[in-house]
Amino acid sequence: MTNIEIKELLEELGVILNGHFLLTSGKHSPTFLQCSQLFQHPEHTQKLAKALAEKFSNTEAEVVIGPAMGGIILSYELARQLGLKAMYAEKDKDNGMVFRRGFKLTPGTKVLIVEDAVSTGGSVKKVMDACHKAELEIVGVGILVDRSAGQVNLHPNQHSLLSMEIPAYDPADCSLCQQNMSLTHPKDLSM
């Protein structure tokens, strides 16, 4: 799949929304990402996960791990395609990430970390911390949509399916406000 095909599919599925959005940071943006829109379609999820999995065909991983919630379905589908185990990490009370549910990870286990969308990479970093604590070996990081346009570098073997810059404007400098375009709040999208 080419970058244009991936982007068009994500727009068609409502993963990439174009308009005028209020971000949690208070800034305004012409683009909003809603990755769960993809995961309601198993056939499209399979297709995009395959394209991402191909980038790790030479990576010797044993387990694919994603942060809950965004990384659960993606880690499962990548693991299915690569013939590996799938697990997920969850938020703990200190706002870090931990492995629960009786997931058994012995020191030295080779781990591929995946996430649906990354802007600063915060969740992925927390999963990496949890992996380091458990003495696991991180062999790669896979991202469906890198909203930082390649600015976030978490691992030497890091690949994203789509890399795009998502602009954010101060409300005072927002050209969409100046065009009187109505502003969409995240709650309008039932976030």
Residues that bind Zn ion in the complex, under the rule CB under 5 A: 28, 174, 176-177
Q: With respect to Zn ion, which residue has the nearer C-beta, 69 or 176? A: 176
- Cα distance from N-terminal residue to C-terminal residue, the chain: 29
Q: With respect to Zn ion, which residue has the nearer C-beta, 165 or 170? A: 170
* Shortest separation between residue 185's beta carbon and Zn ion, angstroms: 12
Secondary element (H or E) of residue 9? helix 3-12
* Shortest separation between residue 175's beta carbon and Zn ion, angstroms: 8
181 prior amide bond cis, ω within 30: no
Question: Residue 177 in contact with residue 171, Cβ under 8 Å?
Answer: yes
Q: Which residue is nearest to Zn ion (CB)?
A: 174
* Shortest separation between residue 22's beta carbon and Zn ion, angstroms: 8
Q: With respect to Zn ion, which residue has the nearer C-beta, 28 or 126? A: 28
Q: Name the residue with tokens 């990402």.
A: 33
Q: With respect to Zn ion, which residue has the nearer C-beta, 31 or 160? A: 31
80 vs 74: CA distance, rounded Å:
10
